[in-house]
Amino acid sequence: MFKIRLENTKDAEEFVRAASKCGGDVDLHSGVVYIDGKSLLGVLAMGIKRDMDVSINTAEVKVLKQAVAKFVVA
């Protein structure tokens, strides 16, 4: 699991594109809200400019984290 922050809709589109290339489930959550990280509508509905946790249930964690490295927050 790692945290990301998307600043605008372009960032959201880029994240969803990268997540969609992963074979397993990619979920975003903030507080008690969980959404499908492969759904642009879901990502936008959750809101941008907030820290979100990324959960991924596949061996491709490193690949996704590298693909979205510019959105990862410490």
Summarised one tens digit per residue, pLDDT across range 2-38 is: 999 999 999 999 999 999 998 889 999 998 899 999 9
Q: Residue 52: its pLDDT value, please? A: 95
CATH of the domain spanning 2-73 = 3.30.1340.10
Which DSSP category does 70 fall into?
G
Q: Residue 28: its pLDDT value, please? A: 95
* Ramachandran class of 10: left when φ > 0, alpha when ψ lies in -120 to 50, beta otherwise: alpha
Q: Residue 48: its pLDDT value, please? A: 87
> How many residues make up the chain in this entry?
74
Q: Residue 34: its pLDDT value, please? A: 93
* Nearest alpha-carbon partner for 16 in 48, 58, 73, 62: 48
For the chain, the structural domain boundaries read 2-73
